[in-house]
Amino acid sequence: MHSFLQIKIYRGKFIAYAVFVVFIGLTLGAVTCAVLLDQWVGNARNEAAGSFARAESALQYDADRIESFMQRVYSNSGLVTDIRCFLGNNAEGYLTSRLQESHFNRALVSFPDDMKSFLSNGGQGDITQVSLHTEQEGNVIRFDNNGNTSFQFRLPNTDRTFNETIRSGFVYRKKLSDPNQISRQLGEFRFLVSSDRIFQAAPNYPQSETAAVSASGDIYRISGSGSDGADLVRRATASGRTHGYLRTGLLDRAYFVTYRSTQFDYQFVSIVNASSLIRQKLSVLLIVFLIMLAAMISVLLLIVYNLREDANFLRRIINSIGRVKTADFTPVNPARYRRNEYGMIARELDDMIHQLDKHIRTNYLLKLKQQETEMKALQHQINPHFLYNTLEVIRSFALGNRADDTADAIATLGALYRDVVKNENIIPLGSELDLLQKYLRIMEFKYPDRFYYQFNVDKALLALPTVKFWMQPLAENFFVHGFNPESEFNLLVVNGYEEEDRFVLEIADNGNWISDSRLAEIRASLLRTDDASTESIGLHNVYTRLRFFYGPGFSMAIDNNEEAGVKITIILSKEAMNDV
């Protein structure tokens, strides 16, 4: 070390390097401490996010249970009758109405018992109160922690029992409609989900304060203590930010994070004090300091070693100059790994491009093959499903000794299946309409003088390419869900027309309506890409096949007709037809 410090240039380099290393070491130490602090704050944030997610999950679970209960109510006429007896009556009136509505050959259905069993698991669930309201008053059912039930009848809707604050819990409101006349409202359910039970699973993390804040500013403190905690919560929510720092002293800061529920109208707030967090992690910071000190010493030793190597390199330069003076031009080969450095980079780039091209081509072909396989699998689902249903129709003809109808049905089925087998997977829309017409003729045999169909399709649509055998499942839905065997006029109409930038196909019937909740479920299931919505073949199968074939230019809409029945609308953009 003494040898190179005697040289002025190396002495100046060593001082500059030493100052630089100390500066970098201190900077890295500060950055490391800041990163660790940020990580600890992030851990607190993740813990808060976990608590919020568990609370949201519990609330969503209770919402789903309430929805299930409402569906149970509408599907049980005896339960609806008992609810009507309960609604607006006192205890004596409720019991009297129940007896008047009872039948000797049918067991009595108890609305409170059914609700207690279905919703609250014996009264020990999150739902602690259920009330049923008219416009002026409401009857209340409460569940305590032991599963006991208590009642209050004919309380005014303005009673403090019905005050909605986040300290008491979350209130779900559900309209009670007349099953025989949906537009007529009988009353309103109010389900109270206890905040204590929703947030009781939130663990007591080191953060100083955790709370839930309602839209009106009410605070439910989950963890923490002290009067300053509530003030910090109010400041955090009033800031309008999702996270940040709050000044709590001259040099002290508190980090906060807020999560706003999109469904249940409240904010989850978590606050951690920075100074207390640093004191808790002081041993870790001391270890970081010692590591940075050891690193700086090591770097300085490495600099000393390299400066000595620089001195040797300088002597080598002088020797090389002397060799040149003596005309000694013996070449010194560079290190092997440097000789072709740029060539290696170029070869690596060429190999990278080749590998990328290979991967792109491979993945593209695999996706095309996968799509083709899925399309075939969907088609193979449809064919046997339709065949079994049609054979069952012919079997019923045979059992009824309808020889002529049986012969005609067999002939129609044979012609239909020959078309299904012999045609390609891609056929004109006119051929698809012919397949549908053969199927509908078979259904005419099954329901003589009770079923009629009509096609009103513009000629411009008949030549459009489409996948084979997708209209039959849509028509079959009508016979499974909407057809009324007692009616003398069941009608299925297929309309098709051309607009400026698209083609429209409509399949409408005059059968039964679909409930709004079920219609929402069907629409949601069409957009799913997993197998959860394919328990039956039906609409999801057809939607998937047409989406594969036409791409983003295809859309399907399902709606109830104004008078009766369901209409399925298929929209094909002309741009999508060009891409097919």
In a 13 Å sphere around the CA of 334, the CA atoms on its Cβ side amount to: 5
Tell me phi and psi for residue 399, to 5 degrees.
Answer: -65, -30
If residue 220 lies in a helix (H) or strand (E), which one and from where to where?
strand 219-224
pLDDT score for 373: 46
If residue 413 lies in a helix (H) or strand (E), which one and from where to where?
helix 403-422
Residues 6+ apart with CB under 8 A from 206: 44, 272, 276, 277, 280
If one counts every other C-beta atom within 10 angstroms of the C-beta of residue 426, the result is 11
253-260, strands of its sheet edge to edge: 219-224, 209-214, 266-273, 253-260, 243-247
Query: Hey, CA dihedral for 48, 52, 53, 54, is it positive or negative?
Result: positive
pLDDT score for 349: 47
- 569 close to 508: Cβ distance less than 8 angstroms: no
pLDDT score for 181: 81
Is residue 258 helix, strand or coil? Answer: strand
Listed as ranges, residues in the chain with pLDDT below 50 are 123, 323-324, 327-343, 346, 349, 353, 364-366, 368-370, 373, 377-378, 381-383, 532-536
pLDDT score for 113: 83
Closest by CA position to 277, among listed 30, 26, 31, 39: 39
What are the DSSP calls for 527-549, one per residue?
T--SSTT-SSSHHHHHHHHHHHH
The number of helices, as runs of H, and strands, as runs of E, in the chain is: 17, 17
What are the DSSP calls for 272-289, one per residue?
EEHHHHHHHTHHHHHHHH
Closest by CA position to 17, among listed 432, 307, 326: 307
Structural domain spans, the chain? 76-198, 382-579
Express each pLDDT in 92-124 by its tens digit: 888 888 888 777 666 678 888 888 787 766 545
Which residue type, as a one-letter code, is found at position 108? L
Separation between Cα atoms, residue 508 and residue 474, nearest integer Å: 10
Q: What is the pTM of this model?
A: 0.46
Express each pLDDT in 201-212 by its tens digit: 665 655 568 889
- 311 close to 10: Cβ distance less than 8 angstroms: yes
Separation between Cα atoms, residue 87 and residue 139, nearest integer Å: 7
Task: Say if domain 382-579 classifies as CATH 3.40.50.410.
Answer: no
